[in-house]
Amino acid sequence: MDFLEQLNESQRAAVTCTEGASLVVAGAGSGKTRVLTYRIAYLLQQGVPASRIMALTFTNKAAREMKERIQKLVGEDARYLMMGTFHSICTKLIRPYAELIGYTRDFTIYDTPDMKSVIKAICKERGLDEKIYKAGAVQSRISMAKNCGITPDEYGRNQQLLREDREMRMYELATIFALYESRLKAANAMDFDDLLINMLRLMDVSPEVRERYQQQFQYILVDEYQDTNYIQFLLVKRLAEPQNNICVVGDDAQSIYSFRGADIRNILNFQRQYPGAKLFKLERNYRSTQTIVNAANSLIHKNINQIEKTVYSEKEAGVPLNLQPYMDDRTEALGVATKIQKMRHKGYDAFAVLYRTNAQSRVIEGELRKLNIPYRIYGGTSFYQRKEIKDALGYLRLAVNPRDNEALLRIVGFPGRGIGDTTMKRVSANAIEHHRCYLDVMRNPEETGLDVGPAVIKKIRAFAIYMDGLREQSETMDAFAFTEMVLRTSGVQTALALDRSQEGIDRAQNVQELLNAIREFVEQRANEGIDYTPITDFLSEVSLQTDQDENLEDTTERVTLMTVHAAKGLEFPVVFIVGMEENLFPSQFAVKPHEIEEERRLLYVAVTRAMEQCYLSFARQRFRNGSVTFASPSRFLNDIDRQYFELSRPVVTQRPITPNIPISTGISAAPKTPVSGATSAIASSEWKAGDRVAHRVFGKGTINRVYRDEVTENDKIEINFDTQGTKTLLLTHAKLDRI
């Protein structure tokens, strides 16, 4: 079968140009995954050994699906591809040479909860206020530094970072960073960021290893290149040298993860980094109607920093986008739920409700429940993040890596064995003082002078002996048999079985499902010709699960609720985008031009999730942060060409509202065209630039200009107040007196 016949002209050109550097800019719904998949299949068909190809993705799910597609095209050769996430591939490449960078081969991988646990412990030891030094904020700050290639020493000398820390009142962040790094190293552990950084370190300290990997991987392909950070950019660049047979695929218009360290400059500057690189543009959208595609184009073309392209669709024109004003957020939620109910003949799986922040889901959930509409929140707690699963995995982690202090702290009290928090605090302090891991102190408490009684010494030594026994068995038993034995002998299964509440039954079933997952993992490896699968392989697989790997597999039809960030890569026949208001979408935290551009890209992603119908809505008042706040429609609504809109009549709430309250947006959210011959009586007959007015809150001022908003029908007036600066007010609420 000539699979190239299944590609359009642009896709075929991108697939068959295999030598040198290539940038494939893939518009929304243009078949990006197909191009990446077929390019790998084409390389294999041309005789390139699978072992010479590396494909880097951002989710394990994407890697699995691509590998399955390639196998269907070219057969079993695809099994030997080095394909996976940056983190999973770096793990595989580092393990054989871990000793060269100061680790053992069985190093542990710390996920986000583990990282936060270490940070909390450090902050507690130093007596820091946990309300200021929140573990999530500290972890995010450390991760940001690592993604930028900044070491703890460099962090402590960087005046800009230190100034930012002072503004957040986190004066000791540099010290926490240094202690965090030393704790991980002492525990023979790496966090996700370390996997990438240490891969670079490995290639720096060992030119032999670097050359071996560069020669092995002759062709490198990267998916979602717009989401790469600085370290990932360096990693790919280093691995691709010197032949630079590198192909990156992505869409700068869908770069929305700067808060995770993604740097849009990587894709924008690709041709500068690789002179002579070929550029391929995939501009045909196979997902959405012409109207949706054209509307999205009119929006994203307002951005300055982008690779110019014009996405088009050859599907039917379709219906206009619907814009619905509501008086408040509850009415908005009810309106969305009612529309879904009226269209339920499409099947509930056809609908997605997208919002900018998670907090917006509460009121939407309430209205869906009232109408008995089933729904799911995409991106909830994943299986491997559940407490009972983390507990079970803690035993496995500590068994293979005795220095994993975080795993020990998690499991030592479950099931109960008479070792309490006070004991573990003394063990922790003693271990830090003597530069030992916790299990080592528990194994030989007399050597370090641990201050506990004889009964406690007996208990902690028994636990250490038990874990040492597991360590020995982990080296000879396969993953499934070992896990089954651990759950039985540790008492975990018995403890869960004793709890006959529904929650207890669910927890026991989840642990059983963990066993099923390990069995399937071992069987899958056996089918690939791997006779023996140690538990370390499964632990690596689990640790590298990402939040994007959540899926929508569910036997029940449900409406999907999610943030726009979580929606990337998905598609639905009908999409509702709610909360299109200033300081919500765009976010109140987006102030700088590049931040506003990313917010606009985020809306582009939201609109292009829709296949057939797209509904946008905003509320004039919204319950936020414990009180009702008045809102102004998002400036982005005016970036979408009005010919693609159908404006619905405002829906009036039954809840009373307070009239004549000024709405200030801080920065003008108004359309670009000043009013001339306005339809509003107020705008056309009463006010004009230069008029002096008085406002009961902001005082006296001079009108700069008056705007007519044809999309939202909310005329606005911009006034330069004598003492309060420039404000943009809604004319329907701004009660002004002429001076």
Q: Which amino acid is at 624?
A: R
Selecting among 32, 339, 436, 708, the annotated active-site residue is 32
> Taking a C-beta distance cutoff of 8 angstroms, is the pair 56, 89 a contact?
yes
**DSSP for 587-602?**
BTT--SHHHHHHHHHH
Strands (E), 524-640: 559-563, 572-577, 610-624, 627-630
Burial class (CB in 10 A: 0-12, 13-18, 19+), 715: buried
> Taking a C-beta distance cutoff of 8 angstroms, is the pair 345, 290 a contact?
no
Q: Which amino acid is at 454?
A: P
Q: Is 159 a catalytic residue?
A: no
Cis-peptide, bond into residue 586, ω within 30° of zero:
yes
d(CA 327, CA 631): 10
Selecting among 91, 226, 232, 254, the annotated active-site residue is 254
Pairing of strands 321-328, 610-624: parallel
d(CA 271, CA 21): 9
What is the helix (H) or strand (E) element at residue 128, kind and residue range? none
d(CA 665, CA 429): 52
Q: Is 609 a catalytic residue?
A: yes
> Taking a C-beta distance cutoff of 8 angstroms, is the pair 147, 192 a contact?
no
Three-state secondary-structure class, residue 157 = helix
Selecting among 12, 16, 18, 33, the annotated active-site residue is 33
Selecting among 111, 224, 478, 582, the annotated active-site residue is 224
Closest to 311 measured CA to CA, from 225, 269, 253: 253
> Taking a C-beta distance cutoff of 8 angstroms, is the pair 398, 106 a contact?
no
Q: Is 223 a catalytic residue?
A: yes
Q: Is 33 a catalytic residue?
A: yes
Residue 421 zone, left/alpha/beta (φ > 0; ψ -120 to 50; rest)? alpha
Closest to 79 measured CA to CA, from 63, 94, 92: 63
Closest to 572 measured CA to CA, from 283, 720, 354, 290: 354
Pairing of strands 627-630, 692-695: unpaired
Q: Which amino acid is at 641?
A: D
d(CA 101, CA 108): 14
> Taking a C-beta distance cutoff of 8 angstroms, is the pair 394, 410 a contact?
yes
Q: What angle do CA 132, 138, 142 make, to 5 degrees?
A: 155
Residue 449: HSE in the Cβ half-sphere, 13 Å Cα cutoff: 3
And the tokens for 564? Answer: 């726009």
Cis-peptide, bond into residue 659, ω within 30° of zero:
no
Q: Is 224 a catalytic residue?
A: yes
Burial class (CB in 10 A: 0-12, 13-18, 19+), 140: middle
Q: Is 32 a catalytic residue?
A: yes
Selecting among 223, 537, 582, 597, the annotated active-site residue is 223
Question: What secondary structure letter does DSSP report for 319?
Answer: P
Selecting among 146, 309, 410, 609, the annotated active-site residue is 609
Active site residues: 32-33, 223-224, 254, 609
